[in-house]
């Protein structure tokens, strides 16, 4: 699963390729590494217009996942002889979010597949952990993928929701936040040797962007497919010291 991507471009390029009508990001950093549960630029359909905005990465986890986690926590508390208000415990169950969306036939995701919840996630390169090249006693390095070595702009096909109430981190407590995540699919032959389970759904052409942002789901779902091999490259490896590790989120 992809839990790290880089955006090295400017707002003008993002607005041009996405045809965004409004930009509320302020001054976007010229190079930005994006990790789970942090804010990142997306172009979203919002109130009938396309808007470039900064949104937190990680859509809500399924109610079953949260129920199971709260049940486990409640059982541990009961084992210590403590009384448990399960409804209150469930409401405050931390949810760091789901970063990658694979099973779009799930009822959990179907409610957000309409045009009003579609977004584009700008990306110039994305990473997958590369255990095969891990040095003895060192960190697992990242393999980086891009359209070419020049790393031109492309987009992940994403979904977003406004002002979802949840506990993202215990220290934050109950908050409301705009959230996003992007779709994954089977890997092509460029990604598969590194990550055989999945790759992000990538949009590289203007007609694909338009289709994702405006077509009914019956048509747009055709875009949940591997990018053709000729449009993706594995970048030369970076020094291991420059890699950073993050806790990965599981696909649903």
Q: Nearest to residue 38, comparing CAs of 29, 47, 51?
A: 29
pLDDT the model gives residue 63:
82
pLDDT score of 247 more than 90: no
Mean pLDDT of 210-227: 98
- In whole numbers, what is the pLDDT of the chain averaged over residues? 91
Q: Which two tokens stand for residue 72?
A: 């486990």
Contacts of 69-73 with C-beta under 8 Å, sequence gap 24+, read 69/93
Mean pLDDT of 197-202: 97
pLDDT the model gives residue 83:
87
Mean pLDDT of 230-248: 67
Mean pLDDT of 132-147: 89
Q: How far apart are CA 111 and CA 105, in angstroms?
A: 10
Mean pLDDT of 45-59: 96
Q: Which residues contact 31 (CB under 8 A, 6 or more apart)?
A: 6, 7, 8
Mean pLDDT of 161-184: 95
Return the minimum-mean-pLDDT range out of 127-131, 185-189, 208-212.
Answer: 127-131
pLDDT the model gives residue 246:
42
pTM above 0.85, yes or no: yes
% the chain with pLDDT above 90: 74
pLDDT the model gives residue 239:
60
pLDDT the model gives residue 133:
84
Q: Which two tokens stand for residue 170?
A: 């215990």
Residue the block writes with tokens 């694909």: 208
pLDDT the model gives residue 1:
66
The H or E element spanning position 18 is helix 11-18
Confidence of residue 234 (pLDDT cuts 50, 70, 90): very high
pLDDT the model gives residue 92:
83
% the chain with pLDDT above 70: 94
pLDDT the model gives residue 84:
84
112-151 as b/e: b if 16+ CB within 10 A = bbeeebbbbbbbbbbbbbbeeeeeeeeeebbbbbbbeeeb
């Amino acid at each position: 699963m992809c839990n790290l991507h880089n955006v090295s471009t400017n707002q003008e390029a993002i607005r041009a390729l996405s045809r965004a009508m409004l930009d509320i990001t302020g001054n976007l950093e010229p190079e930005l590494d994006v990790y789970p549960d942090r804010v990142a630029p997306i172009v979203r359909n919002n109130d009938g217009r396309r808007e470039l905005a900064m949104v937190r990465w990680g859509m809500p986890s399924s109610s079953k996942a949260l129920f199971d986690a709260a049940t486990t926590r409640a059982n541990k508390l009961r084992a210590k002889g403590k009384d448990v208000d399960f409804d209150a415990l469930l409401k405050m169950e931390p949810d760091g979010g789901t970063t990658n969306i694979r099973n779009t036939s799930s009822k959990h995701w179907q409610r957000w597949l309409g045009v009003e919840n579609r977004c584009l996630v700008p990306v110039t390169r994305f990473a997958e952990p590369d255990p095969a090249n891990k040095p003895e006693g060192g960190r697992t390095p990242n393999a980086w993928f891009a359209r070419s070595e020049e790393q031109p702009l492309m987009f992940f096909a994403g979904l977003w929701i406004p002002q979802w109430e949840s506990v993202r981190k215990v220290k934050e407590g109950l908050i409301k936040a705009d959230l996003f995540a992007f779709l994954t699919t089977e890997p092509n032959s460029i990604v598969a040797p590194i990550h055989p389970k999945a790759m992000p759904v990538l949009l590289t052409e203007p007609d694909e962007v338009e289709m994702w942002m405006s077509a009914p789901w019956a048509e747009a779902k055709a875009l949940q497919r591997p990018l053709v091999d000729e449009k993706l490259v594995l970048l030369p490896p970076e020094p291991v010291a420059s890699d950073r590790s993050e806790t990965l989120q599981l696909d649903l």
